[in-house]
Copies of this chain bind each other. A is one copy, B any other.
């Protein structure tokens, strides 16, 4: 049973979560259209990055929509106490998010390998390990979160540590890919700057997930619930939307250096 089921919420607390979740699935659907419609700004070989982002947005939209409804249907306003109290016959679950990440994480990581230039051997090794470690990180985290409010948190911690081991491995792989990509001769100072920004964005956004995961330990209160849901959503939008914007800037730059400038295309009369 997740921590969200153990508290009653003030109108403000309840509303903030409901609004944030709703904003975020709207962001995902909006980004979906944006990514699809700007796909042709880059060379065909980089378009797969837009396609993969759309895949991520579809799944994120559907799951955040479910997540928002799970929140809204789990509480009822009590006019006596002026609080939102949990319904006796429903339970909130964060599990939808986790299984959504099973689509998103491998896809987001793979996406990177299609934009940056790597030798075929390095690219394939990265791709295989991105999928394996990415999926195992999520599945072990998913199992662990079932125990976050258990009387004895042993399994929660065991799965958290296992999940973190894969998490560190993914970080290491991303660092390798980005460092490798910087060697590409077609990438100028500006391109290297984008690659560094991708690395820092990655470092920042992905670190929010374990913090949100540990919230039942760090801050086991109604405010903790609100902060957790906000953390999840900030992480999601940074790791998915801002990440794509940066990757597509890089693809746009590389396309231009290969002689394809979308903005310069002019039809002859």
Contact = CB atoms under 8 A, between A and B. Distances in A.
Interface of A: 1, 11-12, 15-16, 18-20, 22-23, 25-27, 29-34, 36-39, 41, 43-45, 47-48, 50-52, 54-56, 58-59, 62-63, 66, 76-79, 88-91, 93, 95-96, 98-100, 102-103, 146, 258-269
A258 B207 CA distance: 48
B264 A260 contact: no
A34 B39 CA distance: 13
Nearest to A63: B26
29 contacts: A1-B11, A11-B146, A15-B93, A19-B93, A19-B95, A19-B98, A20-B99, A22-B96, A25-B62, A26-B59, A26-B62, A26-B63, A27-B59, A27-B103, A30-B56, A30-B103, A33-B51, A33-B55, A34-B55, A37-B39, A37-B54, A44-B262, A44-B265, A76-B90, A77-B88, A77-B90, A258-B266, A259-B268, A261-B269
Given A33-B55, A260-B266, 8 more contacts: A18-B93, A18-B95, A19-B93, A23-B102, A27-B59, A30-B55, A44-B264, A260-B267
A156 to B, nearest CB: 13
A38 B63 contact: no
A54 B77 contact: no
Question: How many copies are assembled?
Answer: 2
Contact of A22 (B66, B78, B259): B66
Contact of A266 (B56, B93, B259): B259
A204 to B, nearest CB: 18
Contacts of A98: 19
B79 A51 contact: no
Given A33-B55, A33-B58, A265-B44, A96 B19 contact: yes
Given A90-B77, A95-B18, A100 B23 contact: yes
Contacts of A77: 88-91
A90 B14 CA distance: 12
A16 to B, nearest CB: 8
A15 B95 contact: yes
A72 to B, nearest CB: 9
A37 B38 contact: no
Given A44-B263, A89-B76, A259-B269, A37 B34 contact: no
Given A19-B95, A269-B260, A51 B30 contact: no
Q: Which 6 A-B pairs have the closest CB atoms?
A: A23-B99, A45-B263, A26-B59, A264-B269, A30-B58, A19-B95
